[in-house]
Amino acid sequence: MIRYISSRLLQGLLVLFALYTITFFLVKAMPGDAFTGEKNIPEDIQHQMREQSGLNDPLFIQYLNYPKNILLHGDFNYSIKKRRPVAELIAQSFPASLILGLIALIFAITIAIPIGVISAMRKNTWIDYSGMAIAMIGICVPAFVVGPLLQIHIATRIPILKIAGWDSPIDVLLPAITLGLATAAYLARLTRGGMLEILSQDYIRTAHAKGVPLPRLIIMHTLRGGLIPSVAFIGPAFAALISGSFIVESIFQIPGMGQHFVTAIFDRDEFLIIGLALFYGLLVVIMNLASDLLVGMLNPRARTSES
Amino acid sequence: MTQASGKDTPLAEAIKGTSLGRDAWLRLRKNSVAMGSLYFLALIILLCFVFAWFCKNPNTILLTNKFASPSWQHWFGTDQLGRDLFSRILYGGQISLLVGFVATAVSLIIGISYGAASGYAGAKTDALMMRIVDILYAIPFLILVIILKVVVAEPIDISAQWTVEQWGWNKELVMRSANILPLFIAIGALGWLTLARITRAQVIAIKNQEYIEAAISLGLTRRRILFRHIIPNTIGPAIVYASLTIPGFILYEAALSYLGMGVEAPNSSWGILIKEGANFLETQPSLLIIPGLVFSLTLFALNFLGDGLRDAFDVRSSKD
């Protein structure tokens, strides 16, 4: 087990390094840099700022120095446009994205798993069809349609909800619903598929024939196997919810990481772009590992069959 | 599989049997949701790419006539600048659909070649190539698409200007294509991973079949075996899977356009229309709701059709 985890962690490091390499060279290939359009900074000051962040070094030295500084000093360099350390910007905006992603995930799980289970139990009935139709709506109606509709029809009618902003805990509600809808939809479909797979197995038929009552059959015998695809999906989905919330953050004006990423792209703020991309990558790696471990616990066969 | 049963069946037809494609089509025809989706998509494509030419210019601004309600003149009313919403939706649909189809085609080409090469090569090459796919899988997709899009936009812009100056190509057309080309490339260049995996699995399954062994013993070259006997048999499943990626890619385009990183004027897309509509939600909700509805219905149809195709091509399901 420890060997498995350590080999996966090593692979995760490889992923991060590959991600770093790709983003580094892509960012360097972007037209313009953070100083383009900054006419009010005198040339020599610009030169000093470049010098300070190591931007005057040869490309290959820069490529090696950045990860070295991260590993040795935890230094993610500066955001040139915002003139603050990248690590500080991430630390400040991460909580909002994390809370938003977490609530969205909880929302998705609480509605999707029951819908998926019930749809599978009542396969090819109107309950199944309507459940899956609702799931399809979640996949096909994008956040930038749902968000504004929720703002105008829900937020304006219920006094404690605000149209946008991030001050009181209740403000997370509408953005989280908007963000979690698509995840909920995929999860419901996966849960249904996983449950159907297990329900067609012989041991379920045996249990049924033995007279195991239905609730017990579902909870004790089917869920464990039937939820495996969903569990495998939840980890990456959580990372995607945190890293993919640019749109929801911009609709509801939430001070999260997504907004930093979008402005950093427009500003060519290279260290911020690389830092955020790496941070997102780290989240994905951790979540993938977590959900693989969880799947391994649910399904002993997966541990040996996968390298 | 091929059965010559039934006395009244003409012999020729019985010998011919039914191909996988024909079987799949028969099965698809029984799936009313998928067929409805197919007709709906045909209608949307016809409207966007043929009927649109007979509609009003979507970029004609008439400020005296802004926010008009639907009428015979303007079927869906007009927007904040007095542009006809109906033709804007049709022209926007051209871009959205093009991005979905072309980016899928790009990723199909890359995915099939990569997967086939990996599966056919086997051994260490295969392991290495699949490790690369694993690594790319763990990279946040949208982030790389955004960065890649910004990177490729510049050289494309420059070469577009060059063709206009040197070869006198139609400036508007070139500039409009130059604006959407980066999206095709960025999405297609990163969206092929699952396709490569599917193709590889398929190739490995086929590689061990007897007719390939026969081909080897006949002395056919590796390249001929790969291109003539293996790849054609992997294309079916790959295309079926690809049909399910189309709505995803359309959604990516809309998301990018919504963030201001996608298509730019005079091009427009459903994402842009929705974004603009959201600004006037309180006064003119139809500007969000109509494009949103068309967009979502199209995605609906694409998803249902993709699901139907997958079920129809699923060889495990019995012939009936």
Please indicate whether, in this complex, the C-beta atoms of B140 and A239 are within 8 angstroms of each other. Answer: yes
- Contact residues on chain A for B147, CB-CB shorter than 8 A: 23, 26-27, 30, 265, 273, 277
Helices vs. strands in chain B: H and E counts, helices first: 13, 0
B30 has pLDDT over 70: yes
Please indicate whether, in this complex, the C-beta atoms of A137 and B296 are within 8 angstroms of each other. Answer: yes
Q: Closest partner residue to B146 among A144, A251, A265, by Cβ?
A: A265
B313 has pLDDT over 90: no
**For the segment B292-310, what is each residue's pLDDT rounded down to a tens digit?**
889 889 988 888 888 888 7
B148 inside 8 A of chain A by CB: yes
Q: Where are the domains of chain A?
A: 93-306
B147 has pLDDT over 60: yes
**pLDDT given at position B319:** 38
Which residue of B126, B130, B139 to mutate against A (max A Cβ within 10 Å)?
Answer: B139
Share of chain B above pLDDT 90, in %: 1
Q: Read off the pLDDT of each residue in B166-174 and give the average, rounded to a whole number.
A: 75
**For the segment B225-245, what is each residue's pLDDT rounded down to a tens digit?**
888 878 777 777 787 788 888
Domain topology for A93-306: MetI-like fold (1.10.3720)
| pTM as predicted | 0.81
**pLDDT given at position B2:** 43
Q: Read off the pLDDT of each residue in B245-254 and give the average, rounded to a whole number.
A: 87
**Which residue is it, tokens 């067929």?**
B35
- Contact residues on chain A for B41, CB-CB shorter than 8 A: none
* Mean pLDDT across chain B: 79
**pLDDT given at position A37:** 64
- Contact residues on chain A for B296, CB-CB shorter than 8 A: 137, 140-142, 145
B6 has pLDDT over 60: no
**pLDDT given at position B15:** 57
**For the segment B42-85, what is each residue's pLDDT rounded down to a tens digit?**
998 888 888 877 777 777 777 777 777 777 777 777 777 777 78
The distance from CA A28 to its chain's CA centroid, rounded to whole angstroms, is: 26
- DSSP at B76: T
- Spans of chain A below 70 pLDDT: 36-40, 301-307
HSE (CB half, 13 Å, CA atoms) of B320? 9
Q: How confident is the model at residue B4 (pLDDT cuts 50, 70, 90)?
A: very low
Q: How far is B166 from chain A (nearest CA, A)?
A: 23
Q: Which residue has the higher pLDDT, B264 or A263?
A: A263
Cβ contacts of residue B10 below 8 Å, gap of 6+? Answer: none
B154 inside 8 A of chain A by CB: yes
What does chain A look like in DSSP terms, one character per residue? -HHHHHHHHHHHHHHHHHHHHHHHHHHHHSSS-TTTT-TTS-HHHHHHHHHHTTTTS-HHHHHHHHHHHHHHH----EETTTTEEHHHHHHHHHHHHHHHHHHHHHHHHHHHHHHHHHHHHTTTSHHHHHHHHHHHHHHHS-HHHHHHHHIIIIITTSTT--SS--SSGGGGHHHHHHHHHHHHHHHHHHHHHHHHHHHTSHHHHHHHHTT--HHHIIIIIIHHHHTHHHHHHHHHHHHHHHHT-HHHHHHHT--SHHHHHHHHHHHT-HHHHHHHHHHHHHHHHHHHHHHHHHHHHH-HHHHHH--
Q: How confident is the model at residue B19 (pLDDT cuts 50, 70, 90)?
A: low
- DSSP at B262: S
Q: Closest partner residue to A265 among B135, B150, B271, by Cβ?
A: B150
- Contact residues on chain B for A30, CB-CB shorter than 8 A: 147, 150-151, 154
Identity of the residue numbered A131: G
